[in-house]
Structures are given as structure tokens and as C-alpha cells.
A and B are shown apart, each in its own frame.
Chain A
Amino acid sequence: MISVKNMCRYIYILVFSALMLLDMPGAFAQADTATADTTSDHKVKKPDRAGHQLCISVDYFHPVMNALLGDRQSYEIGADYYLHNEYYLAAEGGFGSATVGYSDLSYNTNNSFFRFGFNKSVLTRTRPGDWDMMFIGLRLGAANVNRGFAHYTIVDSLWGNDTGSRQGTSFVPVWMELTGGVRVELVKGLSAGWNIRGKFMLNGKSFSALSPLYIAGYGRGDKNTVFDFNAYISYSIRWRRKSLEALEKKAPADTAKPTLAPAGKKENK
């Protein structure tokens, strides 16, 4: 049975996704990369002058946390590819492990994970080569978690302690993420950024027998809603669109012209 709370959560995700896919024209208006030319009555599709970009990112937030905490490891990398109209196809993956060493409960887990989805930049592009972005995105994530033997002690001062162990097991948690963040180009091709993630477990009940304390890529395995943070360094590879090259060959004078007059330059009369 899906609870009302979960139902509301899924409806919220669905509505959010639908709004993003509809690409609300007012909210996410872009400058010269917009698909529609607003200067004419007939909307003519303009070519996306931004070109192609494949961006590889390495998260450094979690390695820092690994060093601070010591009982868990998590490493992740990501890649995104610019599609069109400020949409980026995103894929992320990684691995990690955790050790729970309480006096009454101890076990180890390790897992790999994969997430895919998309980002939508909501920042107005000032020129085709401006790749700074403020984005929101949606992901679907899954992990393959292996838990080793769990050793437990039930502490009872009256009857005596009861100790035992539970056999290890594997399970596949699946979750949905809403993400938002910023990426800024520091030098040519090299960017830095961060994002926050709200994560919603979709099948948390399936491993309630001993939900792992930590799942790399997700966070606290015993909670159905978690928030996470990533900070990363990215390197981007860019190349021009073939369609744009063809267009430039066809009408070189048109494309060479800047779309906006430079600021401060007055027209001679």
C-alpha cells in the first residue's frame, strides 16, 4: 500500500517533471540560443549556436567527507552532454562502502551506483560560448548493495544479553532525485560547481529487514527522503555543430553579424 505521503511525493515529482518537459516559455527564456525568434510574427526556428559540449565531472565533496568521517567511502564521477535548448543529458556513477561498528550492531556494506537523467539550465546565456549554468534536474538512480554478515547483541541486564548474526544479502534500491546547482567556468574548459539533491527512495520497504546505514550515491539507507550535496571539478570538451557549420557556409554574412549591438556604441547618423 502506498501511503498518502508517498503518493503526494510521487505526484509532486511527476508534476515537476511534466513542467520541465513542457519547457515553460516564460520561466526558462533563453537569449540568443532560444528556439524562437520573437522579432518576427512568424516564429522561425533559430539554430542552436552553442555547439556540443561533453563535460566530465569529479566529485570532491564526498572524498573530503570520507576523510572526516572514516567509517564510509564514496566516490563518484559524472558526465553530461549538451543536447539542445539548454537541456543536458546527465549520467553519474560511482562506488562506496560503509562500516557500522556499534557495540550492539556491526556490519559492512559496499555498493556501486548509477544515475541518469537530465539538467535544464535556467541561466540566460550571454553568448554561445557562455557555458556557466544554474540548473535544475531530475535523476533516476539505482544501486547494487551488498551487505555482509550483521552481528548483533540484544542488551538485557535482567535476562542476559542475546547475541547472534544475520546472513549477508544483496538488494537494489531505486530512487528519484531532484537536483539543482551551479557550474562556473574558471578557465577555458575547466569548471567548478556544486549541486544539492533531494532524494526519494522508491522501494525502501524492500530491504527493511536491515536497511543499510549508508548507500553510496544515495545517503542514509534507512531514510526514504534524504538530502545530499556534491561539489565537483569538471572538464569540458567542446566542438561545433555540423548543422551550424553548414548554415555558416550557406550564409556567412548572416552568422558573422553579432545579434546585439555592443553596449555603449552609438549609431552614426
Chain B
Amino acid sequence: MIRKDRYVVLGAVLAVCVIWGACKQQRQPCLTPKVASLILETMHITTDTGTIFSDTSLPAAQFLALPTAGNADTFLFTQAAVFTISLSPTSNSCQWLFRADSVANSPRGTLFDTITFYYKRDLQFLSNACGYVNFYDLDSIRTSHFNIDSVHIINASVTNDISKKHVQVYIHPGF
């Protein structure tokens, strides 16, 4: 037999649980990245030795998105060799303009290269907190060749994993 006064304590437990339950039912915060990021690494080939190395000499690289809808946006980077951009979730290709040095006086450095990414979209459900996101599978990349010598896909799967590099961009040896 249980003493009835103990049941009062149990009732208090119930009340606490009701309040606890009511308070924790808000939408959980999304703790995972919601955007699949394409990570580019610029590479440099020296003209004299032909050695390839990760290029940290781009002093002020500039990326300019060319969206068919939405707002055109420019991303300016300080001296770096690794750049993070995004792909369009609304179509299977998208274009970025790129120039190696946005503050250079030489005509070559200020010319924009067009980089066109072709890919397949893969709709993924992350969680009820984050909703849906598109992951991408890169098919090919086309570029103009003012500053860019060539591009190379090293990892075609573009997800929200920000630790993986996807594309190597080889800067023209003459830059």
C-alpha cells in the first residue's frame, strides 16, 4: 500500500513534467550547416621549375555570382588559397566570375574569368530543425582562360561537409 501523502509528491512530479514538456516543444535549433559549400583551392605552376603548389599569392581574389534570379553578389577575399562558394539550388548549372586580383593595375589581373559549374542536384532531408537542403554531384566545369589555366575536380560530391575540397583551380603560370 502506498501512503496517500506520497501521492501529493507524485502529483508535483507530474506538474513539473507537464511544464517541462510544454517548454521543450519549440523548434530545435539547426546545428548542422544548411548550405552545401563548394570549396575551391587555387594552385600555381611556376614557369621556371614547373613545380605545382597551393597558391597563397592571390592578394585580393574576387568572386562574383551570376544568378538568374535573386541578387547578384560579390565576394572579395583577402590573401588566400582556399575559397568557399555555393551552387545554385534552383538549376543544374551556375556561373561565377573570378579574377585573381581585384586591386591589380595590370590589365591581365583585373580581367574576369567565367567559371560554369554543371552538376546534378540531390535533395536531402537534414532534420526537422534544418529542413531540406540540396547536395550536388559535379559533372563538369568550364572556364575561360584569362587567369585560369585549367580546373580539376578532385571531389565531385558537394555536401555540407566543409572539410573537403572539391575543385583545384590552376592559375596561369604567367600571373
Contact = CB atoms under 8 A, between A and B. Distances in A.
Interface of A: 61, 64-65, 68-69, 100, 102, 104-105, 123, 126, 130, 132, 134, 152-154, 156-162, 164, 166, 182, 184, 192, 194, 208-211, 213, 222, 229, 231
B34 to A, nearest CB: 8
Contact of B4 (A162, A184, A194, A213): A184
B7 A105 contact: no
B1 A159 contact: no
A158 to B, nearest CB: 5
B70 A159 contact: yes
Given A159-B65, A160-B67, A100 B86 contact: no
Interface residues of B, number: 35
A157 B13 CA distance: 47
27 contacts: A61-B17, A65-B22, A68-B18, A69-B25, A102-B27, A104-B131, A105-B128, A132-B1, A152-B131, A154-B89, A154-B131, A156-B89, A157-B71, A158-B67, A158-B86, A159-B65, A160-B70, A160-B88, A162-B89, A164-B132, A184-B2, A184-B4, A184-B7, A192-B7, A194-B10, A211-B127, A229-B14
Contacts of A158: 65, 67, 70-71, 73, 86
Contacts of B71: 157-158
Given A102-B27, A229-B21, A61 B123 contact: no
B7 A68 contact: no
A154 B125 contact: no
A65 B20 CA distance: 11
Contact of A102 (B17, B65, B87, B131): B131
A159 B134 contact: no
B35 interface: yes
Nearest first, the 6 closest Cβ-Cβ pairs linking A and B are A160-B69, A160-B70, A159-B88, A162-B89, A105-B131, A152-B132
B94 A159 contact: yes
Contacts of B87: 159
Contacts of A210: 125
Contact of B70 (A64, A157, A231): A157
Interface in B30-68: 35, 65, 67-68
Given A152-B132, A158-B70, 7 more contacts: A68-B21, A105-B132, A159-B90, A161-B90, A184-B4, A192-B7, A211-B127
B27 A123 contact: no
A100 B27 CA distance: 10
Contact of B22 (A69, A161, A164): A69
B86 to A, nearest CB: 6
Interface of B: 1-2, 4, 7, 10, 13-14, 17-18, 21-22, 25, 27, 35, 65, 67-71, 73, 86-90, 94, 123, 125, 127-128, 131-134
Contact of B18 (A61, A104, A130): A61
A156 B128 contact: no
Contacts of A229: 14, 17, 21
Contacts of A153: 131
Given A182-B2, A229-B21, A209 B90 contact: no
